[in-house]
A and B are shown apart, each in its own frame.
Chain A
Amino acid sequence: MAKAYGIVTMAGSHIRIDGMMDFRPVSAFSFLGRYRIIDFPVSSLSNSDIENIHVYVSQNPRSLAEHLGSGRVYNINSKRGNLQLLFNQDSNLNDIYNTDIQAYYDNMDVIERVHQPYVIIVPGNMVYLQDYARLLSEHIESGADITVLYHKVNNAKSEFRNCEVVNLNRQKGVKSIEKNEGNLDERNIFMNTYVMKNELFMELIKKAKKTSSILRLVDIINMENEDLDIRGIQHKGYFDVITDFKSYFDSNLALLDIDAQQELFKSEWPIYTQTTDACPVHYCNGSSVKNSMVANGCVIEGSIENCVIGRGVEIKKGAVLKNCIVSSHALISEGVHLENQVVDKYAKILNIKEIIATADKPGYVRRNDVL
């Protein structure tokens, strides 16, 4: 039995993804055609034998509730394990009230009842693999109060602008966690991943709540830095984060690279997701497919290049798609030409023959829309 339970957080209120987020939280965004982003943190937790997992959600919970189901697809033991959705009501008064601390506070009774002495908190908007069992034992061995994960990058001036960075001292002690101001390229991106004792976690929630209503977990940890032993551990391997529409678009297309695929998909570390029992893909006569990922259930008659195509998508004759992300059950009819677009679920592109955007500013076709 693992000594820790897991929490998958919702994305902070500073993360807004126009359009797509009207329908579901970031963690429920479709990814690589057949996954949702949350499949990555939950699979990693499950592969690490963490079987008690709380998933936080505040708005539009339907999509996430539907996807996670009982947790059986994540190989979580149906008797011993538990995959639980925890709701909290976001305040309409002002977005600043909508902090992770508020969500934890609203669910304090659940947190208090957990048997496991440790908590592992992971974000619902990042894509990476992590053996949390190993992270937990490193944390316990080090004797630290809190361990956080960071990922070293060399392009923080232009990328990861909506992330925080970890400043470390020489002993890998965390000096501070602060906003990425984009002034340095070499940065340790904060992965919103924490390990600590559940007792300390509860203490921090209460303290934050008492101090101010707008504090986030990372804020209270920064404030308590003097009194706590906080250490950073460097994460190695594939890492991506979805903080806005552009990064969502890019993070999908980035995995068309074979080396990137090898880094993220390992046979000993499966990524689980809900099955839909869709049949294999039929590439019909006259279709052309280059550098693309295609989920099952699709019928491809047209041409696609650098695309990620979700389940059950139909691409009709003469349609040409370049650099597009098409979510499940969308229909692209004859002769339609799309470039740099994200087409959301069940959208039908029938009458418009051309939608072209640039890779810097990809376009979005709303869920269920008929164009």
Chain B
Amino acid sequence: MKQNSMLAMVLAGGRGSRLKDLTNKVAKPAVSFGGKYRIIDFPLSNCANSGIDIVGVLTQYESVLLNSYAAAGRNWGLDSKDSGVFILPPREKADGNLDVYRGTADAISQNIDFIDSYNPEYLLILSGDHIYKMNYSKMLAFHREHKADATIAVIGVPKKEASRFGIMATDEEGRIVEFQEKPKVPKSNLASMGIYIFNWKLLRKMLLSDMKNNESHHDFGKDIIPTLLNDGKLLYAYKFKGYWKDVGTIDSLWEANMDLLDDTNELDLGDPSWKIYTEDATERPQYIGADAEVKNSYITQGCRVEGKVESSVLFTGTSVASKAVVKDTVLMPGSAVEEGAKVTRALVANGVRIGKGAVVGNAKSEEILLVANDVEGVK
């Protein structure tokens, strides 16, 4: 007998404005990553691999591409009879106005009917903008074992960076005693990964009252979690070990791509037991030319390299022409570096063309250069 004991909801509505021009036309979860993937492939593949059959994806900002992308549940194997990916943008309801999602918790509140229709025992909340591989069924086992009301996945971060995160202070058993949102003086180094398991009945009740509360931000971190703690509910921290990265800025997105060049990288996208699934590109095999030089790089299907590529990640269908040099750079899908051009320490956006002989980026710059528009060649 098939069981839908846990249903997943992916929060994918954010714009990710710190990704600048990359998210002008697409939402952050739809941004490309790792040569052939999109960021949202990670939570969706994790769901599929964890045996979660029903996944709701809450979209809002620039959701057309994301909607059509995520709706093809078969890309992740979420397409059997009792399984599916459901796109849930804000929509007009019989009893009221057309509301946008006012916060992460409100996005769930507005879809209570959807969740009820599957009558799950547990609800898994995920964010659509992190790169990591995680078995949610293990987290659920932990949640059940502790008879928790809610479980929050946490990861140890360096003390000095802790003030950038939501921090969980726990007792020896892992029970959360205090939650601090971006604290100046963090009480622990356990950062919330934005992954929650709730007992649905309890959360449902909380959401209904949160909806009516005019002072609430309707946010899990700001409102729901603190209220649960105040009410003395059992909240546990589930410690995650492994690769986890918030790719919210150009620098961190570039860095996460560069991490793939490290042989000891824990993300290990080549692991056959936990594949990350994505849309199938009907592109030819990649071709490395007779005079090309490729050093420590990550290159995918559809690429054509005739120049020099070093310490770089080349996405689907990119090309590096002869005598061009690409170093410490991320070339997003369909971008092209023409003959003799030189690109260093840059992230070149989708479809951007770097003209003949152009020089872009600087090996010494601290920040990664985002190249979002075509660069004219040099005559």
Contact = CB atoms under 8 A, between A and B. Distances in A.
B36 A290 contact: no
Interface in A287-321: 287-297, 299, 308
Contacts of B270: 278-279, 282, 297, 299
A275 B289 contact: no
Contact of A289 (B275, B292, B298): B292
6 contacts: A33-B285, A261-B284, A281-B299, A289-B288, A293-B285, A296-B286
A231 interface: no
Given A279-B276, A299-B270, A294 B296 contact: no
Interface in A61-114: 72-73
A294 B288 contact: yes
A296 B294 contact: no
Given A34-B285, A279-B276, A299-B270, A290 B300 contact: no
A291 B301 contact: no
Contacts of A296: 36, 286, 300-301
B244 interface: no
A282 B286 CA distance: 12
A33 B286 CA distance: 10
A277 B44 CA distance: 14
Interface in B275-316: 275-278, 280, 282, 284-292, 294-301, 313-314
Chain B contact surface mostly:
loop
Nearest to B270: A279
Interface in A1-56: 32-34
Interface of A: 32-34, 72-73, 256, 258, 261, 265, 270-273, 275, 277-285, 287-297, 299, 308
Given A277-B276, A290-B288, 6 more contacts: A265-B284, A270-B282, A277-B275, A289-B288, A291-B288, A295-B301
Give the most central of A281, A291, A293: most B CB within 10 Å. A281
Contacts of B285: 32-34, 293-295, 308
Chain A contact surface mostly:
loop
A47 B270 CA distance: 32
Contacts of A72: 74
Contacts of B280: 73, 275
A280 B288 contact: no
B289 A281 contact: no
B274 to A, nearest CB: 11
A271 B292 contact: no
B296 A285 contact: yes
Contacts of B297: 282-283
B36 A272 contact: no
Interface in B313-355: 313-314
Contacts of B261: 282
A24 B295 CA distance: 37
B299 A283 contact: yes
A3 B35 CA distance: 41
A289 B301 contact: no
Task: List the 10 shortest-distance A-B pairs measured between CB atoms, nearest first.
Answer: A280-B35, A280-B300, A279-B269, A291-B290, A270-B282, A275-B280, A265-B284, A289-B288, A293-B285, A285-B296
Contacts of A273: 282
B263 interface: yes
Contacts of B286: 281, 293-296
A285 B282 contact: no
A71 to B, nearest CB: 14
B34 interface: yes
Give the most central of A273, A279, A283, A291: most B CB within 10 Å. A279
Nearest to A301: B263
Interface string B123-160: 00000000000000000000000000000000000000
